[in-house]
Amino acid sequence: MDIPYTVKNRPDTGLYNGKLGVWLFLASEVMLFGGLFSAYIFLRTGVDDWPAGTEYLDVPLATLNTLFLISSSVTMVMSWASLKLNDFKKYKLYTLITLLFAFGFLVIKYFEYSAKFAHNPPYLPSTNNFLGIYFTMTGLHVLHIIGGILVIGYFYGPGSKMWNSDPERFTNRIEIVGLYWHFVDLVWIFLFPVLYLL
Amino acid sequence: MSELTPEEVKHHIKTYVLVFIALAFLTIVTVGISYLDLGHVGGIILALIVASIKGTLVACYFMHLLDEKVTIYWTLIATVVAFLILIFVPLSAMLDHARI
Amino acid sequence: MLEVLRRLGLPSVSASTQGPQIDNIISIVHWLMLILFVGWGAYFIFTLIKFRASKNPKADYKGVRNHYSSYIEGLVAVIEIALLFGFAFPIWASRVNDVPVGTEVVQIRVIGQQYLWNFHYPGPDGVFGKTSVYLVDEAENPIGLDRNDSFAKDDFYVPQMHIPVNTPINISLSTKDVIHNFKLPEFRVSQDAIPGMTIPVWFEATMTSDEFLKTTIGTKREGRGFEIACAQLCGLGHSKMRGYLNVYDSEGYSAWQVSEQEYLLEQEDDDDWGDDDW
Amino acid sequence: MSTDQYKQSFWTKYIWSTDHKIIGIQYGITSLVWLLFGFGLMMIMRYQLAYPDTPVPIVGALLGEGGLLPPEMYNSLGAMHGTIMIFLGVVPLAFGAFGNYFVPLQIGAIDMAFPKLNAASYWTYFAGSVIMATGFFVPGGAANSGWTSYPPLSEIATMGQTVWLIGMVMLITSSLLGSVNILVTVIQLRTDGLTWMRLPIFVWTQFITAFLLLLAFPPLEAAGVLQLMDRVVGTSFFMPSGLVVTGEVMTNAGGGSPLLWQHLFWFLAHPEVYVLILPAFGIVAEIIANNTRKPLAGYKALVYAMVFLAFMSFIVWAHHMYITGMGTSIGAFFQTTTMIISIPSVVILTALLLSLWGGSIRFNTPMLFALGFIPMFGIGGLTGLPLGLAAADIHLHDTYYVIGHFHYVVAPGTIFALFAGIYYWFPKITGKRTNELLGKLHFFFSLIFMNGVFMPMFIQGLAGVSRRLADGGQTYAHAADVIYLNEVMSYSAWLLGLAQIFFIINMVISLFGKKTGEKNPWDATTLEWTDTTSPPLGHGNFEIVPKVYRGPYEYSVPGEKQDFTPQSKKV
Ligand code: HEA
Ligand code: HEA
Ligand code: CUA
Ligand SMILES: [Cu+2]
């Protein structure tokens, strides 16, 4: 006996299990980052002088990174749409591009971080609370990116075999991964102005 | 979203491209705004409004929130309420705190 | 009810102006609790006996048919609202907002640290001198008072608290290290000292230490006067972080002030003073 | 769906299992062991409280020099007692074990929605709990800043605190996985005909609990990460500048706030206390309906009250923070919400009490524990009221009154409900019955000694005796009148420990006893007693997946031959 609604929607909710599951997971993620945003606002309001992000951070690089993430988001949703259109080749292509953008994001982040550490005097999390919260929030976000890359990479490589055995289920999986990936993008959309521009 | 026809999917794809352009444009806009001198509060509010628009676009179109099911709407409403409490209540408690 | 609570442990002395108010709200809530508990408890035992299986082998599908319970719930809600608006809010507002000001008010800075309390008095000029963490020297200058500041010349600090009776006391509470809680059980005063903040606490004693000591005669605490407790976990010495509080009548307080000033003059450059009249 | 379809080795069957029943049992055993351990810590502490500065007998040798319990060690044991009881004991037992085992059975599902995730959440819990325990072996001992871990104390604390934080992050992750699983299972896998208003109350409580876990836990995870950063990387999120610790000026950058931690912590920890109590309500409701042989009074009122309770639990947290110097408007807000949240609790208790009226009450062991729960929770809940009024809290905050309050709700409250659940569902899990005599002895002795431990706490609390005092208040004159109670409480605690031997013996002999062969020993109506394959433990729960035709508690329906009408009985 198999667990029902792993692939097909349950009629009364109109959802399959995985999708509901990932939305609930994202709800908890909202609260996780919510805790950090709350801390950010609390700390910032509580002190008299809070440095402007531009004092420490590199806006052009971050803008580029924002564009990278947005692009990876659109290619992600395209790869899902390609599966819907039964075009596995396009799926592969779009997923590859998604991965490349994600890697690009990491590379730029790497340069940003190392520039901070290399600065004289070094900009460290302990330097002040602005940098502290910057490193914490972006660090956690980067962990989410890495997690996403691993999963997307799996479905690009070994995981994509499922397309032959159970295409519908595979498409669902890509949809789920996509939801997660868009959420990571969404978090960045808020992190970017909050940390860099305000 | 499992019962889409190919035509619908193709239509979706057009939307995705449009949304992508809008997002890219808004990104440039926020950066641009930050170079204008709008005063502290004004700048923050504007930047957050733009970010919210972008977030909404991602959620509504990439994440297909527009045609999601009620179960998910309910979940998200509960989450948003909890989120707002989490952000604003500690803040107001701090501002109301007795101190010299 | 107050009597019962006192029997049960509530300190029988309530030696500040707010003390009786706080005791009052405590005893009113306990009335509410008692009535609810006894009422429901009696019902509970009654049903258990009346409807035990051996006596009542066939259960009634419908069960209770009246709505009395909803009235009880409503009543509880009404009483709680009355408690809030009638007692809780006003008392709290007066605690937080009515911080006394004026010349007759005694100003004291209280600084907690692991594991003792420091009391900083402004001296005759009524103004606290500057302090700085970089001047802190646990042995010589625990509160980091800057003697070069002109307001600091007449300031003095002691490890015990001394106050006059029937005079508003305005405390600025702070801490050097972790969170402590400045608690005067007999005065119904309690306030966390939060690092990085200075929090106002105020009260007015209505009983001198001498009067209090008389009430302790024959009890287990005979001869032990008012205490300052630390009511927030602050490390391994938390349980020993006790301070003393002396409430004088007004002559006694002036005399103590004078003696501290003389002491200050005597010591001049030798910062090593204290007092030992507790 | 017989078992032999799934030939598995011992390892895949019992250890790396993805069967919700096995995982439920794994959760159950692990958490019971932790409960016992957490209680053991407390028995040691109670020795120190009764006889300060005298060597602890029996376990003294483990504690170090001369068998004494030094204050920092006392603080460690206290913090670990709180953490272990709540996060390693009660939550995994009430939510992990009972939820895992019975939610799928009660909703007619063949397993949880994500079996692998389920296993992952158990193993994350297991690893987290082991990490938590390794704290005892690092230099400086386990975390010693209270289960609340208030900074700056926790930031200048020894290494055990870091271990505690890592453990917490893992435990939170595990709860999150578990809650997603339960939520999806309840929403998606209910069998045909099982509408929301036909769900057993137990399922409702688990569902609501899962929501609380989902939304309340992550902020503490965030806070945990921030505190880890403070401790490991040297940020100052919770540290203002200019602190002087043991004569040294701290060099951190400053700008942080200790109150930020308190907000994030209690944002979790208040909903958390309802996580502790809701499953208990569910178990008790289940057992009361069964043993009064009549439907619950006010099913809908119960459900709505619990949903409302859950919502309100997100906006009362700062009633733990009145004495930090809260202002008037926020103070008024939190006092009001705290008073409001007591109303649904009163409604729930009232519904349970009214359910007794007109019943035909059977006094078996599970029922005794469930009945014991009601007045005990009543005492705990009612003593929450004075704490909820800031003015009264001035005198009672951080005294033993608070300790008394919450132990009445968690110990003779939740723990009794959990015992009730264990006795009630034991036949379901093992196919065997527990011994009634031992069960009753366990109940009566536990009831007496629980009250012996916790009732005197109110007296000490009213006298103003602080909690977390390593010498039980010896230093203070205001404790002198009530300090003799320490001995009373300690003896009660040790005797309470002895009373648990009845339970352990009962479990052991019942496990090795004969199978009764009854499928539905309590004549119950809910699905877990109908047409199931367990016991014996098989993969797949039901011989035929049942359909549901009626509400959960159709007992003594007029005109029916039997006094119970199972949910799956065709109309
Ligand atoms: C399961 C756990 C649980 C539950 C359910 C509750 C329930 C409540 N709690 Fe409690 N609480 C804790 C666990 C819990 N609490 C813990 C762990 C702490 C301390 C944390 C720490 O500092 O370490 C704490 C601390 C705590 C404080 C902080 C005290 C302080 O530190 O100064 C406050 C203050 O408002 C409070 C209030 C309440 C209130 C108003 C309720 C209400 O929800 C209660 C409502 C219930 C009722 C009103 C009962 C109604 C019943 C009847 C009317 C029937 C009677 C029946 C018979 C006689 C048969 N609690
Ligand atoms: C769920 C939560 C929970 C539970 C159940 C308990 C249960 C008990 N607690 Fe605890 N306690 C806390 C949570 C809990 N506690 C918290 C949060 C604190 C505050 C910590 C802090 O200050 O930071 C605290 C603090 C605390 C103190 C105050 C310490 C101080 O302030 O210095 C005391 C003092 O007596 C105490 C005593 C007890 C006792 C005697 C029990 C007894 O009721 C225990 C009874 C236990 C059982 C009955 C379990 C039996 C288990 C079995 C029999 C299993 C059998 C096993 C197998 C079959 C494998 N507790
Ligand atoms: Cu200072 Cu406890
Ligand atoms: Cu609470």
Domain borders along chain D are 27-240+254-530
Whether B93 and D328 lie within 8 Å, measured CB to CB? no
The answer, for D332 touching chain B at a CB cutoff of 8 Å, is no
Residue A40 burial (CB count, 10 A): 22
Q: Which domains does chain A have, with CATH numbers?
A: 17-197 (1.20.120.80)
What does the DSSP 8-state code read for residue D90?
I
Total H helices, total E strands in chain A: 7, 0
Bridge partners, D244 (sequence order): D249
Mean pLDDT of B23-32: 89
Can the peptide bond before residue D566 be classed as cis, meaning omega within 30 degrees of 0?
no
**Quick check: C8 and D462 CB within 8 A?**
yes
Ligand 1 close to Cβ of residue C43 (< 6 A): no
**Burial group, residue C100, by CB count within 10 angstroms (0-12, 13-18, 19+):** middle
Question: Which ligand 1 atom minimizes the distance to the CA of D316?
Answer: 35
Cis (ω within 30 of 0) for the bond into D52?
Answer: no
Residue D561 is predicted with a pLDDT of 84
Measure D49 CA to ligand 3 centroid, in angstroms: 18
**CA of residue D358 to ligand 4 center, whole Å:** 35
Alpha carbon D238 to its chain centroid, in Å, reads 29
Q: What angle do CA C162, C163, C164 make, to 5 degrees?
A: 140
Ligand 4 centre distance from Cα of residue A48 (Å): 32
Thinking of the domain D27-240+254-530, which architecture would CATH place it in? Up-down Bundle (1.20)
Torsion sign (Cα): D275, D278, D284, D287 = negative
Residues 41-70 of chain B with CB under 8 A from chain A are: 43-44, 47-48, 50-51, 54-55, 58-59, 62-63, 69
Q: Is D341 in the pocket of ligand 1 (CB under 6 A)?
A: yes
Residue C221: C-alpha distances to residues A102, C104, C216, C227, D437 (Å): 71, 33, 6, 11, 47
C232 Cβ below 6 A of ligand 3: yes
Determine the atom of ligand 3 nearest the C-alpha atom of C235: 2
Contacts of D357 in chain C (CB under 8 A): 47, 51, 63-64
Q: What is the pTM (predicted TM-score) of this model?
A: 0.94
Q: Per the CB < 8 Å rule, is B90 touching D264? A: yes
Question: Which tokens belong to D19?
Answer: 């069967």
Compute the distance between CA of residue A124 and CA of residue C121 in angstroms, rounded to an integer: 41
B-chain residues near D267 (CB < 8 A): 86, 90
Q: How close, in Å, is residue A102 to chain D by CA atoms?
A: 24
D66: left (phi over 0), alpha (psi -120 to 50) or beta: left
User: Can you read off the two tokens belonging to residue D443?
Assistant: 């109940």
Joined tokens for residue D511: 């496990």
Q: Note the ligand closest to the C-alpha atom of D319.
A: 1
Cα of D57 to ligand 2 centre, how many Å?
20
Nearest CA to ligand 2 atom 22: D146
Nearest to A45 among B1, B33, B94 (CB): B94
Contact B99 C96 (CB under 8 A): no
Phi, psi of D333 (to 5 degrees): -60, -50
d(C-alpha D182, C-alpha D201), whole Å: 15
Cα C54 to ligand 3 centre (Å): 57
Which residues of chain D have a pLDDT value below 70?
Answer: 1-10, 533-539
**Cβ contacts (< 8 Å) between B51 and chain A: which residues?**
189-190, 192-194
Q: Which residue has the tokens 């002036």?
A: C254
Contact D215/A10, CB-based, under 8 Å?
no
Ligand 3 contact, C10 CB (< 6 A): no
Q: What are D208's two structure tokens?
A: 């609501």
C contact chains, 3+ CB pairs < 8 A: B, D
Locate the domains of chain B by residue range.
Answer: 1-67, 69-100
**Closest by alpha carbon to D471, among D73, D58, D82?**
D73
D517: left (phi over 0), alpha (psi -120 to 50) or beta: left
Nearest bound ligand to CA C46? 1
| Distance from C-alpha of A66 to C-alpha of A75, rounded to nearest angstrom | 14
Collapse the DSSP code of C227 into the 3-class scheme (helix H, G, I; strand E, B; otherwise coil) and give the result.
strand
Q: Could you state, in chain order, the average pLDDT of each consecutive group of 10 residues for chain A (198 residues)?
A: 82 89 96 95 89 86 93 94 91 95 96 90 89 95 96 92 91 94 95 88
Give the mean pLDDT of chain B.
86
In sequence order, the 6+-apart residues with CB closer than 8 A to the CB of D163 are D131, D132, D134, D135, D138, D142, D143
Low-confidence stretches of chain C (pLDDT beneath 50)? 271-278
Shortest Cα–Cα distance, B86 to chain D (Å): 8
Any residues with CB less than 8 A from the CB of B64 and at least 6 apart, and which? B1
Residues 6+ apart with CB under 8 A from D144: C236, D72, D73, D75, D76, D78, D79, D157, D158, D160, D161
**CA A112 from chain center: how many Å?**
18
Q: Which of residues 247-266 of D touch B (CB under 8 A)?
A: 257, 259-260, 263-264
C2 contacts on D by Cβ (under 8 Å) = none
* CA dist list (Å): D466 to A191, B49, D369: 44, 49, 31
CB-based burial of residue D352 (10 Å sphere; 0-12 exposed, 13-18 middle, 19+ buried)? buried
What is d(CA D124, CA D12) in angstroms, rounded to the nearest whole number? 18
Q: Which of C199, C201, C202 should we substitute to test contact with B (largest number of B Cβ atoms within 10 Å)?
A: C199
Contact C110, D219 (CB under 8 A): no
Subunits adjacent to chain D (3 or more Cβ pairs under 8 Å): A, B, C
CA–centroid distance, residue D311 to ligand 2 (Å): 27
Q: Which residues of B touch D (CB under 8 A)?
A: 71, 78-79, 81-82, 85-86, 89-90, 92-94, 96-99
CA-based max dimension of chain B? 67
Q: What's the pLDDT at C139?
A: 81
Question: D516 in contact with C at a CB cutoff of 8 Å?
Answer: no
Q: Which helix (H) or strand (E) holds C259?
A: helix C250-267
Work out whether the CA dihedral C79, C80, C86, C88 comes out positive or negative. positive
Strand ranges (E), chain C: 106-113, 116-121, 156-158, 161-164, 168-175, 180-184, 189-193, 199-204, 227-230, 243-248
**CB pairs A-B closer than 8 Å:** 129
Distances (CA, A) of D458 to A54, D451, D492: 56, 11, 15
Residue C228: strand pairing partners = C243
B100/C contact by beta carbon, under 8 A? yes
Are B78 and D215 inside 8 Å of each other by CB? yes
**Cβ contacts (< 8 Å) between A47 and chain D: which residues?**
255
Asked if D286 contacts A78 with a C-beta cutoff of 8 angstroms, the reply is no
Q: Which atom of ligand 3 is nearest to the CA of C112?
A: 1
Check: CB of residue D366 under 8 Å from CB of residue D291. Answer: yes
Please answer yes or no on whether A25 and D223 come within 8 Å at the CB atom: no
Q: Which residues of D touch B88 (CB under 8 A)?
A: none
Measured CA to CA, the distance from residue D217 to residue D275 in angstroms comes to 11
Q: How far is B11 from chain D (nearest CA, A)?
A: 30
Closest CA to C109 of C16, C200, C230, C243: C200
CA distance C30 to D218: 37
d(Cα C278, Cα C8) in Å, to the nearest integer?
Answer: 29
CB D482 within 8 A of CB D465: yes
CA distance C187 to chain B (A): 20
Cβ distance D325 to B98 less than 8 Å, yes or no, reads yes
| Chains interfacing with B (3 or more CB pairs < 8 Å) | A, C, D
Q: What ipTM describes this predicted complex?
A: 0.94
Residues of D in contact with C88 (CB under 8 A): 335, 389-392
Residue to mutate among D190, D267, D313, with most B CBs inside 10 A, is D267
The answer to whether D257 contacts chain A (CB < 8 Å) is yes
**Spacing, Cα D82 to ligand 2 middle (Å):** 7
By CA distance, what is A23's nearest residue in D? D180
Neighbouring C-beta atoms of residue C255, cutoff 10 Å: 12
CA-CA distance, C215 to C13, in Å (whole number)? Answer: 8
